[in-house]
Amino acid sequence: MSTPALPSVLFVCVHNAGRSQMAAAFLTHLAGDRVEVRSAGSAPADQVNPAVVEAMREIGIDLSAETPKVLTAAAVQSSDVVITMGCGDTCPYFPGKRYLDWQLPDPAGQGVAAVRRSATRSGPASAH
C-alpha cells in the first residue's frame, strides 16, 4: 500500500523575512511532520527580520537558521494551499490550487515589541 502524499502549504509575502516565516514556523510547530510547509517571497530580503527571530525565540521557536527564499512557480505548483500576505499579483496562479490571502501587518521596520504582539496573538496556544 502506498503512503498518501502529505498536504502542503506555501506561505508567501514580499520579503519572506517576517510574516511568511512566522506563519510557516507556527504551522511546522503545530503540525510537525504531518504537513509539508514552505515559505517564499516575491522579492526576498537578505535575512529574516531580526525582530521576528527574537520574538519567535521568546516563544520557543528558533528561526535563526532560516533564510528568505525566492518564490518560484515550482513551489506554487507543488503546494496544495498557497497563503499570500501582501504580495499582490506577483504570486503565480495555477488552477486547482487553493489560494488564501491573509491581511497581516508587515513587521518590516517594527521593533521586537510590535512583532511580539503579533506573534503572541496568532501563535500556538502554548505561547500565550
Q: Could you give the residue numbers annotated as active site?
A: 13, 87, 91
User: Rounded to whole angstroms, how far apart are CA atoms 14 and 54?
Assistant: 20
Please write down the HEC assignment for all residues of 21-84.
HHHHHHHHHHHHHHCEEEEEECCCCCCCCHHHHHHHHHCCCCCCCCCCCECCHHHHHCCCEEEE
